[in-house]
Amino acid sequence: MRTHFLVPALAGGVSAIVSEDGTGRLPALGWNSWNEYDCNINERVFLQVAQAFIDLGLKDAGYEYINIDDCWSVQPRRRDSQGRMIPDPNKFPNGIKGLADKIHAMGLKLGIYSDAGTMTCALYEGSLYHEEVDAATFADWGIDSDPRLDLKYDNCQYPSQWNDQYNYRPDIPSETVQAPPGYDYGTSNTAERYRRMRDPLLSQDRTIQYSLCAWGAAHVERWGNQTGHSWRMFGDIYPIWAGKNGGYNWGIMPILNQAAHHWNDTGFWGHGDWDMLEVGNGDLTVEESRSHFAMWAALKSPLIIGTRLEGIQSDILAILKNRELLAFNQDEVYADAVMPFNLDRPLEPTTPNSAHPPSHWVGTSVAGIHVFLLNTENYPRDLGVTFADVPGLDTSGARRFLVHDMWTGQDIGEYEGSFTLNVRRHDTAALRFTAVDGGHPNSDWTPRLG
Ligand code: GAL
């Protein structure tokens, strides 16, 4: 029985993949090996993560996918006599199926990784020209009581005949080849390589959460919704606040700056993916980790943990488990990401130097209107709002609002006219505004521009 359909989503006439079991309606919550383990993966790593999900309360907080990234198949690259990919027996002695069975027995879901080229980025076997057999293999490996599975599909190593006529990479502007006005990027070779995997995935007897890892190439935000459930919007994240590490690894601020240009390309059944979390990694301070998590949650990005869970610091774990931010990200009623407002300087194009994305962001949820105040400066700073300037906040009747701190879960107090607080260097205040009686200050409002 088919359980998923390509249907026009309500807004803008864009098609989206809608599944009866709800897969992909909300951003995915999970863990992925790449940011912390690189290619140093094996079955034990994933089983330990699954156990930690249970022991640390991450499963109870809603995290469900445990995702294998690059480097899981055999080297030298080869396929078996039926053309199927071969898991590395040293890393996965029970195969991927053996691991999936154990993960499912713990009430969690598995994710696998492949590439829309002949090889992955780390030069392992890719799926281009093998889409049918690979989709069937992944589905087969996942089979048991919980039919859901995640496929992250990368964008490396495709033959040159698949190059796009009008190349577009937001993270490498020097490689852009200008398209004529009105050009439909849904007709690009990149879109076609991702569709080649979509159709076999949709024909399996299970729902496969399809995460396009296209780095924003070929304006994936314009065709991602009808192709998969989420789409990577930029080059790889790296655990630094600002700037860039090497050619393709970006800090939190430049990626957030790009998100400020694309906050409204997300909705139910389709989510812009601002990359896996670096919360707890590298040199990020606790405040920087808080800002990273708050903004990714507020942008309705998939929240895929990328840190080692063994020995995780309690303050980092508390960030990842913040109930109110997760509830905002997973809101069943309001699909939109937060939008920037009160711009204190013009939005700049994203470069490694974009250290100052907008400081004021607003969105709505079933619980109220939420304002996020990000201090991008290197010193503590007063940040605030005049209530009349906050989009969506209905100041026509009562002008007093109850201000609530989403980090502590405590009410700060009732305020009239405006609210200001001191925000630490690189920290983010996550606030919820309700009417003084606790009622929603404007339940008709969704943050849509234009
Ligand atoms: C990159 C991708 C990363 C990771 C890596 C593996 O293209 O953006 O998230 O998957 O490949 O080689």
The pLDDT profile of the chain, 450 residues, written as one tens digit per residue, is 445 666 655 444 568 999 888 999 999 999 999 999 999 999 999 999 999 999 999 999 999 999 999 999 999 999 999 999 999 999 999 999 999 999 999 999 999 999 999 999 999 999 999 999 999 999 999 865 566 789 999 999 999 999 999 999 999 999 999 999 999 999 999 999 999 999 999 999 888 999 999 999 999 999 999 999 999 999 999 999 999 998 889 999 999 999 999 999 999 999 999 999 999 999 999 999 999 999 999 999 999 999 999 999 999 999 999 999 999 999 999 999 999 999 888 898 999 999 999 999 999 999 999 999 999 999 999 999 999 999 999 988 767 999 999 999 999 999 999 999 999 999 999 999 999 988 999 999 988 764
Q: How does DSSP classify residue 321?
A: T
Q: What share of the chain is helix, strand, coil (3-state, %, to 5)?
A: 25, 25, 50
Question: 122 CB less than 6 Å from ligand 1?
Answer: yes
**Sheet containing 249-250, strands listed edge to edge, beginning at the edge strand earlier in sequence:** 236-237, 249-250, 244-245
Q: Is the dihedral of CA 20, 24, 29, 30 positive or negative?
A: positive
| Token pair listed for 109 | 């879901």
Q: What is the DSSP string of 18-46?
A: EETT-TTSS--EEEESHHHHTT---HHHH
Which is the closest atom of ligand 1 to the Cα of 156? 7
pTM of structure: 0.96
Question: 336 CB less than 6 Å from ligand 1?
Answer: no
369 to 13, 48, 204, 317, 407: CA distances (angstroms) = 27, 38, 40, 26, 15
Question: 125 CB less than 6 Å from ligand 1?
Answer: no
How many residues would you count in the chain? 450
Strands (E), 80-199: 109-115, 149-154
| Token pair listed for 29 | 């919550």
Angle between helices 131-142 and 189-202 (to 10 degrees): 40
Which residue's CA lies nearest to atom 12 of ligand 1?
A: 121
Q: Is 283 annotated as catalytic?
A: no
Short-list 36, 30, 27, CA closest to 53:
30
Angle between helices 131-142 and 95-105 (to 10 degrees): 40
Annotated catalytic residue within 69, 70, 115, 154:
154
Q: Which residues contact 226 (CB under 8 A, 6 or more apart)?
A: 6, 14, 15, 16, 17, 186
Q: Is 38 annotated as catalytic?
A: no
- Report CA(326)–ligand 1 centroid distance (Å): 25
Residue 265 three-state SS: coil
| Token pair listed for 69 | 């990234």
Give CA–CA dist 17/210, Å, rounded: 10
State the CB neighbour count (10 A cutoff) for residue 137.
Answer: 23
Mutate to test the pocket of ligand 1, among 121, 237, 238 (most ligand atoms within 8 A of CB): 121
- Look at strands 249-250 and 244-245 and give their pairing: antiparallel
| Token pair listed for 335 | 């699909």
